[in-house]
Amino acid sequence: KPPVRIAPSLLAADFACLGDEARAVAAAGADWLHLDVMDGHFVPNISFGPVVVKALRRHLAIPFDVHLMIAPADPYLAAFAEAGADTISLHAEAGPHLHRSLQAIRALGKRAGVVLNPATPVSAVENVLDLCDLILVMSVNPGFGGQGFIDSQLGKIAALRRMIDAHAAAGGQPIDLEVDGGVTAETAPRCIAAGADVLVAGTAVFGKPDYREAIQALRPKVMA
Ligand code: DX5
Ligand code: ZN
């Protein structure tokens, strides 16, 4: 089983010095950088687009985990690929043809991810597993950082873990299982126990004075 990876979400960083903030979490041991793209339409908030992703790419070598909270997403996939995304994830509800969107991301040479809102059932990904490199479970309603973890999503994480393991056992490709929203030192162990292997954290990293300590606090504890 691969180790748990931590993906700090830049949404909680100081937007007046994004480059410094991104470099700081990378130096502090972040495995991936999580980039939240919001359009004020699919979610009730606006963040940043491909121009910002591209500008940051020149400063960092760690994988860019781009979370698209935009609809439609299809017209922008190429722009995010060109901007330097490694994984591009879109919501199951972002368009009428999820299978085609995932194919498009793969055709751009990028890893493809599907995001499930708190109300979205696991069955939304069941028939596109072969095109998924990542499944992202939202443990808050998307749009804002700093919200409380929705406990009911733990059962969904466990169900997806079983689905992903069965897929791999049948010869399918590996799929990362990521959790986003309200991840803290308290909720992280519960996500990991349920089967998550990538944790997104905004406030729990950028809201702390010591980024290295904050990232470390989210990793599984090694028993002495
Ligand atoms: C919410 C975003 C999250 C957000 C998480 O719509 O997708 O990535 O930054 O923030 P925290 O960790 O503060 O809940
Ligand atoms: Zn996110």
ipTM of this complex prediction, to 2 decimal places:
0.99
Whether 10 lines ligand 1, by a CB cut-off of 6 Å, is no
Mean pLDDT of 206-222: 96
SS3 category, 70: coil
Whether 117 lines ligand 1, by a CB cut-off of 6 Å, is no
Structural contact between residues 102 and 135, judged by C-beta atoms closer than 8 angstroms? no
Q: Residue 222 falls within a domain, yes or no?
A: no
**Structural domains counted in the chain:** 1
Please report, in range form, the residues annotated as the binding site for substrate.
9, 67, 143-146, 180-182
- Please provide residue 36's backbone torsions phi and psi, each rounded to the nearest 5 degrees: -95, 110
Domain around 44: 5-216
Whole-angstrom Cα distance, residue 65 to residue 18? Answer: 16
**Domain CATH number, residue 67:** 3.20.20.70
Joined tokens for residue 157: 């994480």
Has this prediction a pTM greater than 0.90? yes
Please report, in range form, the residues annotated as the binding site.
9, 34, 36, 67, 143-146, 180-182
Q: Where are the alpha helices (DSSP H) in 65-120?
A: 77-83, 98-107
Tens of pLDDT along 11-37?
Answer: 999 999 999 999 999 999 999 999 999
Write down the pLDDT at residue 1: 63
Mean pLDDT of 35-46: 98
